[in-house]
Amino acid sequence: MKSNSEKKLTDTGSDERQVQQVLAKYVRAADNLDGEAMKELFTKDGKVEVFYVNSGIAERLFVLNGPDEIANAISNLMAPHPAGGWSHHTTNDHIIEVNGDVADIDAQFIRFDTLGAIRPQGGWPAGTVGLMGSVTATEAGYYRPTLKKEDGIWKLATHRIFHDLPFVMSGQ
């Protein structure tokens, strides 16, 4: 019988599970603002297409072409987390279709921003118990990526992000 560490190294699971893991790694790289980790998830000609869906009509906002442009956007163009803050992208209700070396996912997502409360100078008031801070939903929509096997590894070829809220960029 294999140990847990051996299973992690040798058991890759079904194609559906491997595809789902790519999306899980994507959201963690986004939360960490880690462009290098994000870059590794894309094919050499991979791209990200971002849309705003207004009353059922998808308006394409912008496209990031290639792993280097994607990595730069994640590492250098996204606002850093505030002190005591973090983001948590969550995905659910994955619909995964695999056809040979191509796979499509349709998953709902929500991004939550957390912000820890600052400890008062004199300490927490007597009787204070529990977690202090806030959790706020800041984004929602659908991830609809297409993945391809590249050298036997599932990678994002085109990652489409459909936002339910307007997306405003500087200067608009």
Q: Fill in the DSSP letter of residue 122.
A: T
The whole-number pLDDT of residue 77 equals 85
In a domain, 122, yes or no: no
Could you tell me the CA-to-CA distances from 53 to 6, 97, 120, 143, 163 in Å, in that order?
44, 23, 42, 12, 6
Answer whether residue 6 shows pLDDT above 70.
Answer: no
Query: The CATH number of the domain where 157 resides is what?
Result: 3.10.450.50
Residue 89 makes CB contacts below 8 A (sequence gap 6+) with 27, 30, 31, 109, 110, 111, 139
Q: What is the pTM of this model?
A: 0.87
The whole-number pLDDT of residue 8 equals 44
Could you tell me the CA-to-CA distances from 143 to 70, 89, 91 in Å, in that order?
16, 11, 8
> What digits encode the pLDDT tens for the residues 108-137?
999 999 999 999 999 989 998 989 999 999
In a domain, 6, yes or no: no
E-state strands within the chain: 42-54, 57-65, 85-99, 102-116, 133-150, 153-163
In a domain, 97, yes or no: yes
Higher pLDDT, 169 or 105: 105
In a domain, 8, yes or no: no
Domain of residue 79: give its range: 13-117+129-163
Total structural domains within the chain: 1
> What digits encode the pLDDT tens for the residues 9-64?
335 689 999 999 999 999 999 999 999 999 999 999 999 999 999 999 999 999 99
Number of residues assigned to the chain: 172
In a domain, 54, yes or no: yes
Q: What is the mean pLDDT of the chain?
A: 90
